[in-house]
Structure 1
């Protein structure tokens, strides 16, 4: 395959990935303006994302089946365009009631249709030996696209003195970019770009139950949950910067944009290179959990009004390590010897547990902030330390079990076991 075509296809997927998740998670950058626009509490704003993920969880496995049965290119394109249309509606009628309906709709455009299709689509662009690098570059492309999209959004927001009006215009920007991403995906991506010797049989209902029974798939789910949970936890540093450190919303938003997306430009590929050099993404992730845990302990022990420079240094270090981990977390599907025709099912199954972080952490962190004020952040840091411990244990489990996984068997033997 022509390398230029591959990189353009990877960019199209990255740009779409950045665009489709910007509005469901808009609070990560526009936390205070979004809360004002919807006239809601911290708990309600956290619950909005939680409901979106809760509904989405029930669609992950069917979505994985869909990704293994139909064209990734078609699924991704339709999802992006539909997302753009729903986002326009939200911008035109920005109330909490409309937000609930739209965010539930996002569960179907994102979790059911788009999610497994795009993660599988990335895997199909790389060979089995450099999956860490492929996913790392995808994460870097996601970071670059997010910085571009986020910078445009911040620039638009900054032109308005009224935060509510500014946020409405940001929503329209996000909707247009989703539709553009759909056009780019249809034009640049083709799942048949890379030739493979593996003959992919049709995936049926028996295969769903077969994948569900495998312990290593659930270990993958725990790794995804903890790695993503650390990312979700970091987003609450946005209100931390304004409430505890005392900086402006615009400055906090800029730092959050760099933390959430900018560091991915180099941390994603670097994480992929390290994982490939170690010949085990799970080993790389295990080391990452330990590093982040140490810095969270330091965060937990900050007292009084901490120095802005110290907070930024701690925040960015955690962000870099976390971005490197998030960039390679899905490559453990390849490390676990999952055949390509089971990729969608494995991703969908792992995502059921993996994205519980959005359901639990949003309302919980919001409740702590509403109830305890600034002291609530200490509870957040303590919980994230526990998340690191759980992730470390799951990564070790994958290292131990990967060579014994059921998925090293061919599909024919798998089906014989099912019918036995």
Structure 2
């Protein structure tokens, strides 16, 4: 079988969009305090806006199972990016709290429901089954580069304009313009998808019927659900990485000056490094994304088990930082490649959007409860080492579940190949 060449220019256009699309919905990441000071939002109100975002995302992803394959990416990707930019213009007017709730709901609709599954579908279609690990790995790394450049540029604008209300408005407008530019580029440089309107019996059908047939085929494919469970277990572990920051502060006494630096390394640097490494290992060393994910989950389970029983009260803060960042690096190599098995299970390319949407719905669902669960355990045990050890044990439990799920998936893949 001739190897399919990767269209890198198209890939770069997709990465630019992927690195800018969530900057407005993640405004709190860089501007949490300014949002409170100049937009008049309390901690509870910011939390409620994010809750609305999560609700719209979860419910809306069921609709994206149909939408992602019904319409061309050349329509959906530019439309969603430009609409997000226009919502950003509205947010820059500092609307009322109810306006903020509506804005964040719309950001979830266009970003998570319409854009994200279509982006994943487009990335999958750029290469063959031997290139999926690298494609998704470099997507994660490329998004990290764009994300970092855009975030620090917005922060620079905010500081340059005096760190006041005008600076925050300018930063929001900057985010908005960036995502609109990404949408315009996507419109002019992405190709139209060819929607297959001939069914399995060779009969001509409408595009609507073709999309619904794809939804039914995807839902009836057991391998898609097992891939979704794989993503579920890995994302549950990923949610636990957030607890490393209070852990280092409470148990190791990490000074406030190091918190910011650690956070940047934990979110940006690991993404930049983990993506390409995970993709390379999946494609070149293991020749299978699923086999690599199982190996990494086994490694993560052993690593977190050893980490639980270490004498953390006696260890050096920098050693503790290295340990947690090392574990985080393992998780980021998995997070970068956990959509790659969709190609390995030989899902027909015309239902890629439906498959990715199902994977998003159930794969990302731990965000609905894991952050709250881990936070509750830490608070219940008064930020003691016991509470953190229970959180880490849960992460280890999810890693073991992931090993079992990927083992089942590998057997399904082998059976499919034999047939």
TM-score, normalised by the number of residues in structure 1: 0.82
What's the counterpart of residue 324 of structure 2?
315
Residues 340-372 of structure 1, C-alpha deviations (whole Å, 9 max, x = no match): 011111111122211112211233344445555
Structure 1 residues 122, 396: closer, same or farther in 2, change over 3 A?
Answer: same
Q: Does 2:43 correspond to 1:40?
A: yes
- Matches for 1:288-299 after TM superposition, within 5 Å: 288-299=296-307
Does the CA-based 8 Å contact 1:200-1:340 persist in structure 2? Answer: no
Q: CA deviation at 1:276?
A: 1.2
What's the counterpart of residue 408 of structure 2?
397
- Supply the distance in 2 between the matched residues of 1:67 and 1:85 (Cα, whole angstroms): 22
Does the CA-based 8 Å contact 1:74-1:186 persist in structure 2? Answer: yes
Does the CA-based 8 Å contact 2:248-2:321 persist in structure 1? Answer: no
Q: Is the partner of 1:125 in helix, strand or coil?
A: coil
What's the counterpart of residue 226 of structure 2?
219
Aligned length: 400
Q: CA deviation at 1:166?
A: 6.7
Q: CA deviation at 1:379?
A: 4.2
Q: CA RMSD in A?
A: 3.5
Does the CA-based 8 Å contact 1:143-1:263 persist in structure 2? Answer: no
Structure 1 unaligned residues grouped into runs of 5+: 410-420
Q: Is the partner of 1:349 in helix, strand or coil?
A: helix
- Supply the distance in 1 between the matched residues of 2:155 and 2:390 (Cα, whole angstroms): 30
Match of 2:373 among 364, 376, 380: 364
What's the counterpart of residue 273 of structure 1?
280
- Supply the distance in 1 between the matched residues of 2:162 and 2:399 (Cα, whole angstroms): 41
Does the CA-based 8 Å contact 2:6-2:127 persist in structure 1? Answer: no
Match of 2:396 among 375, 385, 396: 385
Structure 1 residues 381, 49: closer, same or farther in 2, change over 3 A?
Answer: farther
Structure 1 residues 296, 327: closer, same or farther in 2, change over 3 A?
Answer: same
- Supply the distance in 2 between the matched residues of 1:117 and 1:39 (Cα, whole angstroms): 34
Relative contact order (alpha carbons < 8 A, sep ≥ 6): 1 or 2 greater? 1
Q: CA deviation at 1:113?
A: 0.8
Match of 2:212 among 205, 211, 216: 205
What's the counterpart of residue 147 of structure 2?
146
Does the CA-based 8 Å contact 2:132-2:340 persist in structure 1? Answer: yes
Residues 107-159 of structure 1, C-alpha deviations (whole Å, 9 max, x = no match): 21022211211011111211232122222222221121122123324444556
Q: CA deviation at 1:32?
A: 6.5
- Supply the distance in 2 between the matched residues of 1:157 and 1:370 (Cα, whole angstroms): 34
Q: CA deviation at 1:94?
A: 6.4
Structure 1 residues 356, 96: closer, same or farther in 2, change over 3 A?
Answer: farther
Q: Is the partner of 1:275 in helix, strand or coil?
A: helix
- Supply the distance in 1 between the matched residues of 2:11 and 2:342 (Cα, whole angstroms): 19
Does the CA-based 8 Å contact 1:53-1:356 persist in structure 2? Answer: no
Structure 1 residues 12, 252: closer, same or farther in 2, change over 3 A?
Answer: farther
What's the counterpart of residue 134 of structure 2?
133
What's the counterpart of residue 413 of structure 1?
none
Q: Does 2:337 correspond to 1:325?
A: no
What's the counterpart of residue 121 of structure 2?
120
What's the counterpart of residue 414 of structure 1?
none
- Supply the distance in 1 between the matched residues of 2:324 and 2:30 (Cα, whole angstroms): 15
Q: Is the partner of 1:92 in helix, strand or coil?
A: coil
- Supply the distance in 1 between the matched residues of 2:263 and 2:409 (Cα, whole angstroms): 32
Structure 1 residues 28, 323: closer, same or farther in 2, change over 3 A?
Answer: farther
Does the CA-based 8 Å contact 2:69-2:350 persist in structure 1? Answer: yes
**Once structures 1 and 2 are overlaid, which stretch shifts more, 163-172 or 259-268?**
163-172
TM-score, normalised by the number of residues in structure 2: 0.82
- Supply the distance in 2 between the matched residues of 1:159 and 1:305 (Cα, whole angstroms): 43
Q: Does 2:260 correspond to 1:253?
A: yes
Larger radius of gyration: 2
Structure 1 residues 204, 276: closer, same or farther in 2, change over 3 A?
Answer: same
**Once structures 1 and 2 are overlaid, which stretch shifts more, 394-403 or 61-70?**
61-70
Structure 2 unaligned residues grouped into runs of 5+: 200-206
